[in-house]
Chain A
Amino acid sequence: KAGVTQTPRYLIKTRGQQVTLSCSPISGHRSVSWYQQTPGQGLQFLFEYFSETQRNKGNFPGRFSGRQFSNSRSEMNVSTLELGDSALYLCASSWVTGPQETQYFGPGTRLLVL
């Protein structure tokens, strides 16, 4: 089975621009979560989508948004980029069977805001 894929892998933007990142979960996984990873804050939860509905949201400003499509692929958008948005953005897809759960991460998108 193919793993979680994320595109693009690297991105350079300037302040004030917006960016859209894409994530394709493992086939059959319906839950997709997004995380931001920075050296200072570690891994921080952004939001989770399940069957096209946002199920949970982290403590990030409204500039960060996302959506999920009927094929479970997900996108996240960051508008009005700030220098502090430079980070590794990770997508994870989850498989839950009863009480058992695994959550697999993609390789991430490295965003640099200049």
Chain B
Amino acid sequence: EDQVTQSPEALRLQEGESSSLNCSYTVSGLRGLFWYRQDPGKGPEFLFTLYSAGEEKEKERLKATLTKKESFLHITAPKPEDSATYLCAVKETSGSRLTFGEGTQLTVNP
């Protein structure tokens, strides 16, 4: 059974203080690892899909990386508007569902 574990559960940063969020996963065969951002009361906003170990993708202050067992979401010089819950999910090669982690709630203080 696919499993996704995200850490930490919550993270408080000062504006400009860079950090990383972790997503560890267990899947029989990885089709893709997805990162989303979710603001309170809203649907998840798509950020990245990573497909193979060694792959990296960037978007503004965010950079996602992938290994065979985990993915990192690096946040460089965050701003208060980056405050949100960041969700990681995996899709296996033989399936069509996303299995989500519990998320990391990020708060960036000005």
Contact = CB atoms under 8 A, between A and B. Distances in A.
A58 interface: yes
A100 B91 CA distance: 12
Contact of B43 (A31, A99, A101, A108): A108
A92 B99 CA distance: 13
A55 B46 CA distance: 22
B43 A90 contact: yes
B46 A102 contact: yes
Q: Which range holds the interface residue count of chain A?
A: 20 to 34
Interface string A72-97: 00000000000000000010100000
Nearest to A6: B43
Q: Which range holds the interface residue count of chain B?
A: 20 to 34
B51 to A, nearest CB: 6
Interface in A98-112: 99-108, 110
B76 to A, nearest CB: 23
A8 interface: no
A105 B95 CA distance: 18
Q: Is the interface of A mostly helix, strand, loop or mixed?
A: strand
A42 B100 contact: yes
A55 B51 CA distance: 22
Given A90-B43, A107-B42, A43 B100 contact: yes
Contacts of A43: 44, 87, 89, 98, 100
27 contacts: A4-B43, A33-B97, A35-B98, A42-B101, A42-B102, A42-B103, A43-B44, A43-B87, A43-B89, A45-B98, A48-B96, A48-B97, A50-B96, A55-B96, A56-B95, A92-B98, A99-B51, A100-B49, A101-B32, A102-B46, A103-B34, A103-B46, A104-B46, A105-B36, A105-B44, A108-B42, A110-B41
Interface of B: 31-32, 34, 36, 41-46, 49, 51, 87, 89, 91, 95-103
Interface of A: 4, 6, 31, 33, 35, 42-43, 45, 48, 50, 55-56, 58, 90, 92, 99-108, 110
